């Protein structure tokens, strides 16, 4: 059995601007398509696709990491709008311990644009669940993602990283409130999880007039009722734009929602009034040419980084504590994985010893005929105990060596000395 490796390939807000991240985004159908493509690739045993506003990453288990890296790259290109050259320039590929550390940091929000954000754990869990639905996540990635979620929860509960604005919507609302007066009218476009968080944050900040615009009126009405606002369909966007001081767009649409022309007409209909537009969607909802309009202030998700950096200044010590927790978790997981390498050889050795024990008892069967059932049971327990005691120290030492990263030569020696089956080498 070949050694299995962990692999993470993708891009993030640290390596790619929003223009590239939105091209690489894997929406629901894109993520499913990528997973199905990878399941058909012989180099990939397991895979999970994670796509958020900050990143697109695929995690995989493989015995052939070089071939799997090419497969992951191809799966992203085939199921998104980014081309191969762009992805190659903006992406990173991490193996084994580095891949483990990446997922643990991502799930702990230490790698997020907004350090301490709360949405990422749900996004990681959702990606894992989608992979399970597609039959793409197996024993190794299941253990990895389960542990990642546990680590993320511990970082949130054992540190103060969640103090201050800790989500993209919260930062957007904070920016909106600082850019306008307390009586501002706010238009929220969308009714999904990001839009809901945005609307609730606006309500908590005391914004009096909140309008929810959504393609599906039902979703808009439910959210508007919860925050004391009003709901409209997309057919009323033009009218609502003329009334809005702030527009926060947070949909999961794969295309532009707000073109330049309706925004221009809205601004011209209200001379002297400024419109703040904050686009927190990836792919972006607002045509970037809107930024050129006089009277419009357009911010996208990358523009929030300056605000994020300021909010992080008071939490750097907490981030260091979070990193220490991640370091401990990576070490434990790495030791667990290393121990797996020795397990097949240990199992084969115990099976070989048991075969020998049973064969020797069978050859002595004639001499044991006169024993009582109690004496036979005693002989059985005695021989089994001898085997276990003989094997105990070698198997403990082998497992410890594997955890130190020095198990390969011990396994090979064991296989050679006891003539164990080659497919049990680990």
CATH of the domain at 215: 3.40.50.720
261 and 301 share one domain: yes
Q: Are residues 291 and 360 in the same domain?
A: no
Q: How far apart are CA 381 and CA 251, in angstroms?
A: 67
Q: Is the pLDDT of residue 310 over 70?
A: no
Mean pLDDT of 158-167: 73
Last residue of a domain, one of 164, 187, 202: 164
pLDDT band at 423 (very low <50, low <70, confident <90, very high): very low
Q: Is residue 319 part of a domain?
A: no
Q: Where residue 14 falls among pLDDT bands split at 50, 70, 90?
A: very high
* Range of lowest pLDDT (14-28, 29-43, 78-92): 14-28
In a domain, 108, yes or no: yes
What proportions of the chain, in percent to the nearest 5, are helix, strand and coil?
Answer: 60, 15, 25
Question: Which of 214 and 315 is assigned the larger pLDDT?
Answer: 214
Q: Are 152 and 9 part of one and the same domain?
A: yes
Per-residue pLDDT, 372: 85
Are residues 294 and 353 located together in one domain of the fold? no
Answer yes or no: do 152 and 14 share one domain. yes
pLDDT in tens, 390-408: 877 877 777 666 666 555 5
Nearest C-alpha neighbor of 113 from the set 353, 309, 360, 325: 309
Buried b (16+ CB within 10 A) or exposed e, 393-409: eebeebbbbbbeeebee
* Higher per-residue confidence, 72 vs 162: 72
Given 139, 164, 189, the domain boundary residue is 164
Total of domains in the chain? 3
Both 75 and 130 in one domain: the answer is: yes
Compute the average pLDDT of residues 155-183: 78
Q: How far apart are CA 229 and CA 237, in angstroms?
A: 15
Q: Is the pLDDT of residue 1 over 50?
A: no
Q: Note whether 131 and 182 are same-domain residues.
A: no
Q: List the single range of 39-48, 64-73, 387-396 with lowest mean pLDDT.
A: 387-396
Q: Are residues 249 and 377 in the same domain?
A: no
The answer to whether residues 232 and 220 touch, using CB atoms and an 8 Å cutoff, is: yes
The predicted pLDDT at position 408 comes to 58
pLDDT band, residue 419 (cuts 50/70/90): confident
Assigned domain for 322 exists: no
Residue 19 maps to a domain: yes
Domain region containing 294: 168-306
Q: Buried (b) or exposed (e) across 211-248, using 16+ Cβ within 10 A?
A: bbbbeebebbbebbeebebebbebeebeebbeebbbbb
Residue 106 has pLDDT above 50, yes or no: yes
Do 149 and 22 fall within a single domain?
yes
Q: What percent of the chain has pLDDT over 70?
A: 90
pLDDT of residue 276: 93
Is 92 domain-assigned?
yes
Same domain, yes or no, for 134 and 222?
A: no
In this structure, what is the dihedral angle of CA atoms 240, 243, 248, 249, given to the nearest 10 degrees? Answer: 20
Considering the domain boundaries, does residue 147 fall inside one? yes
pLDDT of residue 346 exceeding 80, the answer is no
What CATH number does residue 141 fall under? 3.30.460.30
Residue 309: per-residue pLDDT? 65
List pLDDT tens digits, range 357-375: 888 888 888 788 878 888 8
Q: Token pair 């301490």 is at which residue?
A: 116
Classified as helix, coil or strand, 281 is coil
Q: Are 161 and 315 in contact (CB under 8 A)?
A: yes
Which residues are the active-site residues? Answer: 53
Q: What is the DSSP letter of 301?
A: G
Look at residue 355 and tell me if it is in a domain.
yes
Between residues 406 and 343, which one has the greater pLDDT? Answer: 343
Please indicate, yes or no, whether residues 107 and 185 belong to a single structural domain of this protein: no
* pLDDT digit string, tens, across residues 261-286: 999 999 999 888 889 999 998 889 99
Do 116 and 203 lie in one domain? The reply is no
Enter the tokens of residue 273.
């009034």
3 state SS of 228: coil
Among candidate residues 122, 144, 164, the one where a domain is terminated: 164
Biggest alpha carbon distance in the chain?
110
Give percent above pLDDT 90 in the chain: 48
Reported as a single tens digit per residue, the pLDDT across 176-197 is: 887 777 678 999 999 888 888 8
């Amino acid at each position: 059995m070949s050694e299995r490796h962990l692999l993470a390939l993708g891009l993030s807000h640290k390596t790619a601007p929003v223009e590239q991240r939105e091209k690489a985004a894997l929406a629901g159908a894109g993520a499913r398509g990528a997973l199905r493509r990878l399941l058909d690739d012989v180099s990939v045993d397991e895979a999970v696709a994670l796509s958020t506003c900050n990143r697109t990453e695929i995690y995989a288990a493989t015995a052939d990491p070089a071939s799997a890296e090419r497969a992951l790259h191809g799966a992203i290109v085939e199921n998104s709008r980014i081309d191969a050259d762009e992805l190659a320039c903006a992406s990173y590929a991490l193996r084994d311990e580095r891949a483990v550390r990446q997922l643990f940091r991502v799930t702990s929000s230490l790698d997020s644009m907004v350090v301490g954000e709360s949405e990422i754990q749900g996004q990681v869990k959702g990606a894992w669940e989608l992979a399970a639905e597609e039959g793409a996540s197996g024993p190794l990635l299941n253990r990895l993602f389960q542990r990642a979620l546990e680590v993320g929860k511990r970082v949130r509960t054992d540190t103060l990283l969640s103090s201050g604005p800790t989500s993209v919507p919260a930062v957007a609302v904070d920016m909106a409130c600082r850019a306008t007066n307390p009586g501002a009218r706010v238009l929220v476009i969308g009714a999904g999880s990001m839009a809901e968080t945005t609307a609730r944050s606006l309500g908590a900040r005391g914004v009096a007039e909140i309008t929810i615009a959504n393609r599906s009126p039902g979703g808009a009405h439910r959210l508007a009722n919860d925050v004391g606002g009003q709901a409209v369909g997309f057919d009323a966007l033009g009218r609502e734009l003329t009334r809005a001081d702030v527009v926060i767009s947070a949909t999961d649409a794969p295309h532009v929602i707000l073109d330049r022309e309706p925004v221009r007409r809205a601004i011209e209909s209200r001379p002297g009034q400024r419109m703040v537009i904050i686009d927190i969607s990836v792919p972006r909802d607002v045509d970037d040419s809107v930024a050129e309009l006089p009277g419009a202030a357009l911010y996208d998700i990358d523009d929030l980084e300056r605000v994020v950096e300021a909010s992080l200044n008071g939490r750097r010590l907490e981030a260091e504590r979070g990193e220490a927790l991640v370091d401990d978790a990576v070490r434990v997981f790495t030791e667990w994985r290393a121990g797996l390498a020795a397990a097949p050889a240990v199992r084969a050795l115990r099976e070989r010893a048991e075969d020998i024990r049973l064969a020797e008892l069978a050859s002595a069967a004639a001499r044991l005929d006169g024993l009582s059932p109690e004496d036979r049971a005693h002989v059985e327990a005695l021989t089994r105990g001898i085997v276990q005691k003989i094997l105990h120290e070698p198997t403990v030492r082998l497992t410890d060596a594997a955890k130190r990263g020095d198990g390969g030569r011990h396994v090979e020696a064991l296989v050679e000395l006891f003539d164990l089956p080659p497919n049990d080498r680990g």
